[in-house]
Structure 1
């Protein structure tokens, strides 16, 4: 068993990240999002699927040509290879768990 504290995970602008390779070689990585209104990543894609679990607030998620508001208690699944991104379009914090089905993050950012 491997146990770590959320507060010990590397932090970015609005999240903390668990990289599977760094935690026992698990075949997934997780982003724990805590984003203020208006925040979110720009369009990007991965060669694996990503699962977005909204726990609090709402996110406007764009995946390919589709845009949808995803609220607390809802789950969005983005297939591998699809350009996607999200923005906190709610009035309060967006708390979301993003599961990457890969042992490390492999992200291609639009425009790179």
Structure 2
């Protein structure tokens, strides 16, 4: 393996360890990570390191996807490894916005098949040479734990209701929700809604208008426009494509 890069979607976790180091770059959503008792939230604009043989577990948000590099000890063969990997300790480090945009673009190109994973891995490691690690992921505050729990439920309820559940004011809740998940509460709600819409279109014969009304839309045309903006297909086209696979 030496170095293996892959874009992965996560739906659940289990406590385990592996004999290689792992670099996590979140492309979407967030993940609550526990590395031998060190708990943190991996979300937008940060990179997490899980060193080899460290036992860890994770809880992803519903829409979590990560650009993952699995790196074996002999991968660099005399070359300088990124500082993030030299100390062999868990870390969670913020990334400069311009560098983060580069990582996001690499992830998008890998997902689209426009870039070979091996080339993307080399470019990602080159970018990581510019990141100075911050060791010991900070523990989650109680407020952050409540917010990430709400995010894992897909942002159900109004922002005011979620803020009350979290015991926070709306402005503080909104800021903390974005900081811990990389999305606003409204974006999380739309993700949950369209995940449900896509599932109903693919697995039921319900009319599109009935699906739209069932999800809270006042008219089907508004649902159709937003669905197409998100997926690039109308609901009917999405349904036909899912059934032809």
Which category of TM-score, normalised to the shorter sequence, fits these structures? 0.5 to 0.7
Displacement of 1:85? 2.3
Displacement of 1:45? 0.8
Structure 1's 31 and 44: CA in aligned 2 closer, same or farther, altered over 3 A? farther
The structure that has the greater radius of gyration is: 2
Displacement of 1:58? 0.7
Instruction: Describe how 1:40-51 pairs up with structure 2 within 5 A.
Output: 40-51=12-23
Structure 1 gaps, min length 5? 1-19, 21-26, 103-112
1:67 maps to what in 2? Answer: 39
2:63 to 82, 93, 100: 93
Deviations 1:11-31 (A, max 9, x none): xxxxxxxxx4xxxxxx21234
1:55 to 24, 27, 30: 27
2:3 maps to what in 1? Answer: 28
Check conservation: 1:55, 1:73, Cα contact below 8 A. no
Structure 2 gaps, min length 5? 73-245
Check conservation: 2:30, 2:64, Cα contact below 8 A. yes
Structure ranking higher in helix proportion: 2
Higher relative contact order (CA 8 A, sep 6+): 1
TM-score by length of 2: 0.27
Check conservation: 2:13, 2:60, Cα contact below 8 A. no
Counterpart CA distance in 1 for 2:68 and 2:35 is 14
Structure ranking higher in strand proportion: 1
Displacement of 1:100? 0.7
Check conservation: 1:60, 1:88, Cα contact below 8 A. yes
TM-score by length of 1: 0.57
RMSD of Structure 2 on Structure 1 (CA): 1.6
Question: Number of paired residues?
Answer: 72
